[in-house]
Amino acid sequence: MTKFRLTDAQATRSLGVRLGESLPPGTVILLEGDLGAGKTTLVQGIGAGLGITDAIVSPTFTLINEYPEGRIPLYHLDLYRLEPEAVAALDLESYWEGVEMPLGIVAIEWADRLPYLPESYLHLNLTYLSEGGRQAQLISVSTGKSEAAMELPL
Ligand SMILES: Nc1ncnc2c1ncn2[C@@H]1O[C@H](COP(=O)(O)OP(=O)(O)OP(=O)(O)O)[C@@H](O)[C@H]1O
Ligand SMILES: [Mg+2]
């Protein structure tokens, strides 16, 4: 597990940039944290690190925003408003298995609403610090029997 102290929004974005520059195709990053904790800011950084120039805004009605033009594609989801049944219907496996679309980075806000998980993923939890700013906790998780957890890229 790696912990980062993010003193301001720029620090959250910079952590995302480093992830965007280094994560391999097929990485799923599950983002958790209270309202306003900085999940979208982090994904905006990931986009910048991938070389995406389109503005990254939280997916609301679209459910999934796809940004194909960077080093590898970015798929951005926000499950906040969704019921578990609606999430199940999204067929998210096709994003992290790369069956119907090229493998990229799948970044999911409010990932605690997922009814199923990929075999391996990065879990990033953002919490408020009492002195202001945020703390990020990054863990690499693998549930597959044969698959080793990926090494933390940072
Ligand atoms: N480390 C930080 N310190 C202080 N403010 C931050 C930090 N990171 C992000 N912010 C600010 O917090 C606010 C909310 O950020 P953001 O929209 O990314 O949160 P979110 O977790 O996506 O929110 P939501 O739960 O609504 O999806 C923004 O104004 C952002 O600039
Ligand atoms: Mg958000």
Which ligand has the minimum distance to the alpha carbon of residue 39?
Answer: 1
Q: Which of 6-10, 16-20, 33-37, 143-147 has the lowest mean pLDDT?
A: 143-147
Q: What is the DSSP letter of 24?
A: P
Which residue lies with its CA nearest to atom 6 of ligand 1? 9
The predicted-structure confidence for 113-148, as pLDDT tens digits, reads as follows 888 899 999 999 999 999 999 999 999 999 876 666
Q: What is the pLDDT of residues 38-65, one digit of tens each?
A: 999 999 999 999 999 999 998 877 788 9
What ipTM describes this predicted complex?
0.99
Give helix 9-22 / helix 39-50 axis angle, nearest 10°: 40
Q: Which ligand is nearest to the CA of 35?
A: 1
pLDDT of residue 87: 86
pLDDT of 32 above 90: yes
Query: What is the pLDDT averaged over residues 94-113?
Result: 91
Superfamily of domain 7-119: P-loop containing nucleotide triphosphate hydrolases (3.40.50.300)
Half-sphere exposure of residue 113, counting CA atoms within 13 Å on the CB side?
Answer: 19
Answer with the residue of higher pLDDT: 96 or 147. Answer: 96
Q: Ligand 1 pocket test: which of 12, 14, 32, 41 has the largest number of ligand atoms within 8 Å of its C-beta?
A: 41
**From atom 31 of ligand 1, which residue's Cα is the shortest distance away?**
9
Interatomic CA distance for residues 44 and 32, integer angstroms: 15
Look at residue 48 in the predicted model and tell me its pLDDT. 98
